[in-house]
Amino acid sequence: MSVAAEPVAVAHASALPPRSWRLPIILAVLAVVTFVVFGLFGTDEEVRFAWSRAADAVSLDPSPASPRVIGLIFGALALLASGFALWSAWNRRKVGVWVMLIVGIAFLVSLVAWVGAGGSVPVVFLLTGAIGLSTAIVFGALAGVIGERAGIVNIAIEGQLLGGAFTSAIVASTTGSYILALLAAMVTGALISMVLAVFSIRYLVDQVIVGVVLIGLVTAITNFFYSAALAPNSGALNNPGTLDRIRIPLLADIPVLGPVLFDQRLTTYLMFVLVPLTWFVLFKTKWGLRVRALGEHPLAADTVGIKVNRWRFWAVTIAGLVAGLGGASLTIGSVGAFVREMSAGQGFIALAAVILGRWNPFYAALAALLFGFASNFRIWAGQAGSALPPDLIAMTPYVVTILAVALVAGRVVGPKAAGKPYLKE
């Protein structure tokens, strides 16, 4: 007896699987741009990296550097990394996440140095700003991850951010309690989730449709009350102020990292905690195991006695609590007042972050941070006297989102059952 498949396979080993070149090529293009544009054709005008702010306890001297040298060094690094990616692709191996990180960071550092040429780069401002502008997106992305892992695509995150922002502003203004305001925002997010869940689970309405309708409804309701109540009495109803910054002793004095990570508002700390917590619950606990089963194969979950629709309902509701927090971070965590339609597409950017982050809380938070950085970069680049008109710079985060989704989206596979209602009989 002989097994036939083996000799057949050996005899015609010439035909090999196709190589996937897309990602390595994207990385290579980025690396070449870094090396050539910021390096070879870069500017020699000195740039100073300011590591600390005037008020910081430990003050570091700014480091002067030549943008061209930075471009050359980081460009070379990026070229090496992308060369490795090309080599991996040639050998039909997967390109690791760390390769993308190296190329991405090299590109960003060189870009920042290039833009900041002839002036200084406020590193702390760039990083804190990025975190500040990405907070709501991170919360939204976490909510998206939880929902989609459980099989419910939550387009309404945009509405949950807006609703959370709205109620937290009102509650903080009227009660003066930020804790109540945070709770109110969470409840708002959860209520919107419940409507989404009831319509998609019970009435089998397409999840994207309910999501979009809910966004429209939340927008209309907040706009209505803004005109009817908030605008005429902004002092009493829309004057919440912001959460205090909480300095963590000692840690906050670490140069660069201290002010970025340990001198933040409560909402930011909650974000720092929720990212690993969400990951832990999803991947290390029995609840997480069940939730992930719902998104992959709900019938299999049903056959082992997990009540699919009940679990989905509560998973999305909990996700709503998280998204609501994101809304609070927009008002009492940042601006200090509610503004019409202030979520400005961040809920959708969060959805993009979910996809880029491959439905993993850590990667999704990283992707959200990238969008936050893009937003903050546009602010700084505007101040640094960029030649581009502000109207065009305003597009940056949206263009980045489209590029990111278009370059990465088709490659990744999400939970299989996400978006499909589960119906017995």
Partner 1 sequence: MTTTVPETSPAPDRPGWREVLHDIAAGSAIRTVLAVVLSLAIASVFIVFTNEGVQSTLGYFFSRPGDFFQAAGSALGDAYAALFRGAIYNTRADSFASGIKPLTESLRFAGPLIAAGLGIALTFRSGLFNIGGQGQLLMGAIWSAWAAFQLHLPYGIHLIVAMIFGFVGAGLWAGIAGFLKAKTGAHEVIVTIMLNYIAVSLATYLMRTPVLHDMDSGSNPTTRPPDPTAVFPRLLGDGYELRWSFVLCVIAVGVFWWLMERSPLGFRLRMVGLNPDAARAAGVNVSRMTIVAMVLSGLFVGLAGINQSLGRDGNFAPQIDAGIGFDAITVALLGGSRALGVLFAGLLFGALKAAGPTMQLADVPPEILGVIQGLIVLFIAAPPLVRAIFRFLPTPREVTVVGTGRKPALEQKGGE
Partner 2 sequence: MKLELRGITKRFGSLVANDGIDLVVEPGQIHALLGENGAGKSTLMNVLFGLYQPDAGEILLDDAPRHFTGPGQAMSAGIGMVHQHFMLIPVFTVAENVMLGHEPSKAGVIDLGEARRRVREISDRFGFDLDPDALVEDLPVGVQQRVEIVKALSREAQVLVLDEPTAVLTPQETDELMSTMRALADAGTSIVFITHKLREVKAVADTITVIRLGKVVGQALPTASTDELASLMVGRDVELTVAKNPPKLGEEAFVVEGLTLFGPGGTRLLDDVSFSIREGEVLAIAGVQGNGQTELTEAIVGLREHALGSVRLYGRELIDASVRDVLGSGVGFVPEDRKVDGLVAEFSVAENLMLDRSDTRPFAKGGVIDLAHRDRFADDAIAEFDIRTPGRTTLVGRLSGGNQQKVVLARELGRELKLLVASQPTRGVDVGSIEFIHERIVEVRDSGVPVLVVSTELDEVIALADRIAVMYRGAIIDIVPADTPREQLGRLMAGVH
Q: Label residue 97 exposed, middle or buried (CB < 10 Å: 0-12, 13-18, 19+).
A: exposed
Stretch of 43-51, 65-73, 118-126, 211-219 contacting partner 1, by CB under 8 A: 211-219
CB-nearer residue toward partner 2: 20 or 174: 20
Q: Which partner, partner 1, partner 2, none, binds residue 209 by CB below 5 to 8 Å per kind?
A: partner 1
Stretch of 11-19, 130-138, 321-329, 373-381 contacting partner 2, by CB under 8 A: 11-19
Minimum Å distance from CB 353 to partner 1? 10
Q: Where are the beta strands (DSSP E) in 15-143?
A: 47-50, 63-65, 120-122
The reply on whether position 235 binds partner 1 by CB under 8 A is: no
Pattern of binders to partner 1 over 129-158, x per CB under 8 A?
--------------------------x---
Q: Which partner, partner 1, partner 2, none, binds residue 5 by CB below 5 to 8 Å per kind?
A: partner 2
Q: Which partner, partner 1, partner 2, none, binds residue 389 by CB below 5 to 8 Å per kind?
A: partner 1
Minimum Å distance from CB 267 to partner 2? 26
C-alpha span between 367 and 138 (Å, rounded):
9
Can you give the length of the chain in residues?
A: 425
C-alpha span between 187 and 178 (Å, rounded):
14
- H or E element: which one contains 247? strand 245-247
List 179, 228, 236, 273, residue binding partner 1 (CB under 8 A) = 228
Minimum Å distance from CB 252 to partner 1? 36
The reply on whether position 419 binds partner 1 by CB under 8 A is: yes
CB-nearer residue toward partner 1: 195 or 254: 195
C-alpha span between 415 and 279 (Å, rounded):
16
CA distances from 85 to 28, 102, 141, 372 (A): 8, 11, 28, 27
Residue 61 CB partners (closer than 8 Å, separation 6+): 51
Structure tokens that stand for 89 in this block: 């692709």
Q: Determine contact, residues 210/200, Cβ cutoff 8 Å.
A: yes
C-alpha span between 296 and 149 (Å, rounded):
8
Q: Which residues pair with 47 in a beta bridge?
A: 65
Structure tokens that stand for 88 in this block: 């991996």
List 102, 170, 325, 351, residue binding partner 1 (CB under 8 A) = 351
C-alpha span between 321 and 183 (Å, rounded):
9
Pairing of strands 63-65, 245-247: unpaired
Residue 131 CB partners (closer than 8 Å, separation 6+): 260, 264, 268, 369, 372
The reply on whether position 1 binds partner 2 by CB under 8 A is: yes
List 152, 214, 243, 321, residue binding partner 1 (CB under 8 A) = 214
List 66, 120, 219, 239, residue binding partner 1 (CB under 8 A) = 219
216, amino acid identity: G
The reply on whether position 345 binds partner 1 by CB under 8 A is: yes
C-alpha span between 290 and 287 (Å, rounded):
5
Pattern of binders to partner 2 over 252-291, x per CB under 8 A?
--------------------------------xxxx-xx-
Minimum Å distance from CB 154 to partner 2? 21
Q: Determine contact, residues 244/265, Cβ cutoff 8 Å.
A: yes
Residue 292 CB partners (closer than 8 Å, separation 6+): 149, 150, 282, 283, 415
33, amino acid identity: V
Minimum Å distance from CB 17 to partner 2? 3
Stretch of 8-16, 65-73, 191-199, 316-324 contacting partner 2, by CB under 8 A: 8-16
The reply on whether position 92 binds partner 2 by CB under 8 A is: yes
Q: Which partner, partner 1, partner 2, none, binds residue 157 by CB below 5 to 8 Å per kind?
A: none
Q: Label residue 208 exposed, middle or buried (CB < 10 Å: 0-12, 13-18, 19+).
A: middle
Stretch of 173-181, 234-242, 250-258, 345-353 contacting partner 1, by CB under 8 A: 345-353
Place of tokens 């700390």: 269
Stretch of 12-20, 52-60, 124-132, 211-219 contacting partner 2, by CB under 8 A: 12-20
List 195, 212, 217, 306, residue binding partner 2 (CB under 8 A) = 306
Which stretches of the chain bind partner 2, using CB under 8 A? 1-5, 8-9, 11-12, 15-18, 92, 284-287, 289-290, 292-293, 296-297, 299-307, 424-425
Binding residues for partner 1 (CB under 8 A): 155, 195, 199, 202-206, 208-210, 212-214, 216-217, 219-221, 223-229, 298-299, 344-345, 348-349, 351-352, 355, 389, 391-392, 394-395, 398-399, 401-402, 405-407, 409-411, 417, 419-425
